[in-house]
Each structure stands twice: as C-alpha cells, then as structure tokens.
Chain A
Amino acid sequence: MATSTMKLKLHVWRQESPSARGGFVTYEADANEHMSFLEMLDVLNESLESRGEEPIVFDHDCREGICGTCGMVINGRPHGPWERTTVCQLHMREYGDGDQIWIEPWRAKGFPVVKDLFVDRSAFDRILQSGGFISANSGGAPDANAIPVKHEAAEESMDAAACIGCGACVAACPNASAMLFTGAKIAHLNRLPQGQPERYDRALDMILQMEEEAFGSCTNHGACAEACPKGIELDVIAMLNRDYLAAVVKAG
C-alpha cells in the first residue's frame, strides 16, 4: 500500500520572547498521512535546524493525549479539527496535498506567550494550589471503603477529573474564560465525600484566584466544552456557580 505524501503550507506564529512582537511566518512542509501533527512539526524543525534556522518552539510531552502539555490553535480550533483529541493525537491523514494550515498559540492574557507556540499556563497551577486539594490525616493509608462513595458521585467526579489542564477551554472561549477548567477542578472534589469539609472554601478560593489571573467571564456559549479533548461538560460550570452562591450565602 502506497503511503500518500503531501506538501503543506504552514502559517506559524513566531514570537521571540514574551515582550517581542510576534507574527506569522510561512513554511513549506512535507508530511505523510501516517505522521502525527507534532511529528510533522518535528520534521519541519529538523529541516529548519539543518538550514541553521531557529526551530519552532511548541510544548509537548507524553504524545498520547493524557498529559495536557501540548496545545495549539489549528485553523481556529484548539487542538485541531478532531473531537476529543489533543493535538498530539491529530494525524496528518486529516490533511491533503496543498492544504494551508494556520497555527497559533493559545490566545489569552492569562496565558502569556513564552516563545512561538509555547504559552505560560502557571495561572492554572495557581488556581489549583488555591483549593484543588483535600486535607487528610497523615499516617497509614485509610482502609478501602472506610468512606462510602455513591456510584453516581464517583462517576461524576471521575468525569470532571478527566481534565488534563491543557487550556483548550480558555483558548476556545470567545471571552478567554477559565470557568470550564476551574469548574472541573471544583466539581472533581466537591462531588466526593472527601471533598465536603472544604467544599465552600474551595469554591470561593479557587474562583477568587481565577479572577486574579486576567481571564474573562463566562457567557455560556459552550465553545469550551466543544473544544475540550476530555469531554468535560458545562455542568461543572453550573456546579461552580451553585457552590459559589452557597459559599457567599454561608460567608454572610
């Protein structure tokens, strides 16, 4: 079986440093249908290096869709056109000879560009640090089933815990809002009995930290959920809102 090869025209965002003015640079790239999108960029980078040019900087790690490190906006869609996939899982069979592809970094004030397609997502780390934990006594591991967890609670918590923190929700949101990420992290713990003692403090603290980070406000478009590679749904935002409201009422 012959492998089909293709010549592509890539318009890639290049930016020297966080403060530098960036712009698009157009490259011709060769690819075959079996490559992943990141492999296509690796090959391009090799040829750039062999010509003595600076390779394109992009973030990546596991390359199997579970770490949340990679991410770029491809022709206007975070992680590219495939549903529920990260960009490392996107394959070049999606594209054909002569296609033009625009590649941009996540665009948000809360995610400043470090270089080229690589953005600083430590805002997400700070949101997590503000409330994404439970307090547990140290010592031996607790007995299994010491705290009964309802099946539904376990399932719903796991749905929210699927979030890999890649930031596609912020990138997709017309308002660059981080509500889907923050909602997923709140729902993940607040749906479990282990999360109950700190439930309302968690909602308040994480939302206050989210506000600090220059993200926008949610208008319930739902673009985030559509872009999410892990299928996080808008119900986590409803839970965030509900627990915030309850926290405000309790805080008095």
Chain B
Amino acid sequence: MSRVTALYGTSVGKKITMAVSGAIFVLFVLAHWFGNTKVFMGPEAFNHYAEGLREFGDPFLPYGWFLWIFRAVLVLSLVVHVWSAWSLTRQSWAARGTKYKKKDSLNIDAASNTMRWGGIVLLLFVTYHILHLTTGTLHPDFIPGDAYHNFVAGFQSIPVSVVYMLCMIALGLHLYHGTWSAFQTLGFDGPRAQKIRRPLSLILALVVAGGNLLFPVSVLTGFVS
C-alpha cells in the first residue's frame, strides 16, 4: 500500500492529515494573535507590522510573496482539514445506524461535543473575517493600507465585536479539544506527554481565545482608539 492511499484510505490516515493541518492552524493563530498585539503600541507600529508581512523575506522574496506563500499553505491546510472532517463525519454518522432512544452523555465535554458544528462556525467566521478586515468588502469604512484604522473602526461596531467575541469562544473550544486530539492522533503519549497534553491544550486555548478577545474589548472600552 502506498503512503498516499494509507493516509486517505483509512479513517486513521484522515485523522493524521487533520492533526497535521490542524497543527499548522495552531501555529498560525498563535502568530496571528501575537502579531496583532502590536495594535497596543499605536497606529505606526501596527501599520508597520502589516506592511512588514508583505516585505518579509526581502531581498530573497519579491514584495508580497511571503504573504501569498503563507496564504497558499493556509488554504491548502484548510482544504485538507475540512475535507477530512467531512469525510470522517459522514463515516461516523453512517456507522451508528439506528439511534439510541435513551442517551447518557458519557465523558463528552462541551469542547469535544462541538467540534463539528464549531468547525462550521469557524469556517463562516474565517470567510467573514477575510471579507471584513482583509479585503474590506464587508467593512463600512475601509481604507486600504491603513490596518490600524480598519481595526479600530471595525470593532467600534458593537454587533461586529459581539460576533468576533462569540467566535473566539468557539475557537477556544475547538482549539482545546483539537490540540489534545492531535496529540492523541499523532501518538504523543509517553509518560511525560500524558501529563502535559491536557494542560497544554487548555493554556493554548485560553491564550489564543482570551488574547484575541482583548482586541474588540479594548476598542469598545476606548483603550485602543
């Protein structure tokens, strides 16, 4: 059996591709959050950072290439992640057959229970987020190149901020179960790994979700204006 069929031919293989693509997203959301904390250093620093993402790699890469390579990797990961999730979900839904009349939720926490629907919420959120703050299509007052202005003006709308905050809670739940699940799927299960897997997943979820929540909150409270 070739490696490719082994990865795509079985549920275990599909889960491995989900774990790897998920790990890329984990690194991305961490970097995304950390980069955006520059907003607390003022308009100049933040816009400089946004511009820096385009200039990154100079003089080896032409202007904007780094960002586009980065985006291509993310899109590829997204396709793999969503396709695997869809395929595994269909397999699992078909595997039960007749439903139980009585249900008792054994050991199933909110995070593991919301992976599928939470994933769809995140997919919709990512689409909205790109149309809102990257392309400006859904932004009422978008100035291309002025990331700081777009950020502040965007979050000054209460409904928009509420949507972002709710989606960050969904992201936190998804990250918590997803990270733990990826450790399990990739077989990181030694005596030491067993001790740190849960706490590490929780810390990651809290840092990313909590850290990102600071952005709309700081605009709404006028801390960033």
Q: Which residues of chain B are within 8 angstroms of A243 by Cβ–Cβ distance? A: 187
A55 within 8 A of B: no
Contact of B100 among A73, A219, A223 (CB under 8 A): A73
Q: Which residues of chain B are within 8 angstroms of A237 by Cβ–Cβ distance? A: 184
Q: Which residues of chain A are within 8 angstroms of B95 by Cβ–Cβ distance? A: 108-110, 175-177, 214-216
A176 vs B177: C-alpha distance in the bound complex, in angstroms?
19
A116 within 8 A of B: no
Report if A109-B96 is in contact (Cβ < 8 Å); known contacts: A217-B11, A241-B187.
yes
Q: Which residues of chain B are within 8 angstroms of A208 by Cβ–Cβ distance? A: 10
Give residues of chain B (87-126) contacting chain A, Cβ–Cβ below 8 Å: 88, 91-108, 112-113, 115
Q: Indicate if the CB atoms of A108 and B96 lie closer than 8 Å.
A: yes
Q: Which residues of chain A are within 8 angstroms of B106 by Cβ–Cβ distance? A: 77, 172, 221, 223, 226-227
Stretch at the interface among A129-137, A142-150, A244-252: A244-252
User: In this complex, what residue of B is CB-closest to A102?
Assistant: B102
A195 within 8 A of B: no
Q: Indicate if the CB atoms of B12 and A244 lie closer than 8 Å.
A: yes
Report if A220-B177 is in contact (Cβ < 8 Å); known contacts: A73-B100, A110-B95, A207-B10.
yes
Q: Which residues of chain A are within 8 angstroms of B14 by Cβ–Cβ distance? A: 217
Q: Which residues of chain A are within 8 angstroms of B107 by Cβ–Cβ distance? A: 221-223, 225-226
Q: Which residues of chain B are within 8 angstroms of A238 by Cβ–Cβ distance? A: 183-184, 187-189
Report if A107-B100 is in contact (Cβ < 8 Å); known contacts: A234-B184, A251-B1.
yes
Q: Which residues of chain A are within 8 angstroms of B103 by Cβ–Cβ distance? A: 76
A174 within 8 A of B: yes
Give residues of chain B (1-29) contacting chain A, Cβ–Cβ below 8 Å: 1-3, 6-7, 9-16
Q: Which residues of chain B are within 8 angstroms of A241 by Cβ–Cβ distance? A: 12, 15-16, 184-187
A4 within 8 A of B: no
B142 within 8 A of A: no
A184 vs B107: C-alpha distance in the bound complex, in angstroms?
19
User: In this complex, what residue of B is CB-closest to A172?
Assistant: B106
A27 within 8 A of B: no
Q: How far is the CB of A86 from chain B (nearest CB, A)?
A: 16
A232 within 8 A of B: no
Give residues of chain A (64-81) contacting chain B, Cβ–Cβ below 8 Å: 73, 75-77
> How many interface residues does chain B have, given as a range?
35 or more
- How would you classify the secondary structure of chain A's contact residues: helix, strand, loop or mixed? mixed
B180 within 8 A of A: yes
Quick one: which of A11, A208, A219 has the most chain B CB within 10 A?
A219
User: In this complex, what residue of B is CB-closest to A21?
Assistant: B98
A240 within 8 A of B: yes
A239 within 8 A of B: yes
Give residues of chain B (133-157) contacting chain A, Cβ–Cβ below 8 Å: none
Taking A76-B100, A76-B104 as given, write out 20 further A-B residue pairs in contact, using a Cβ cutoff of 8 Å, ordered by the A residue number. A77-B104, A104-B100, A172-B106, A174-B108, A175-B95, A175-B96, A211-B9, A214-B95, A215-B95, A216-B95, A217-B91, A220-B180, A226-B106, A235-B189, A238-B183, A241-B15, A242-B187, A248-B13, A249-B3, A252-B2
Measured CB to CB, the residues of B under 8 A from A are: 1-3, 6-7, 9-16, 88, 91-108, 112-113, 115, 177, 180-181, 183-189, 194
Pairs across A and B, CB under 8 Å, 28 listed: A22-B98, A77-B104, A104-B100, A104-B102, A107-B96, A107-B97, A107-B99, A109-B94, A172-B106, A175-B96, A176-B95, A211-B9, A216-B11, A216-B92, A216-B96, A217-B91, A219-B92, A221-B112, A221-B113, A222-B107, A222-B108, A226-B106, A237-B184, A238-B188, A239-B189, A245-B186, A247-B6, A249-B3
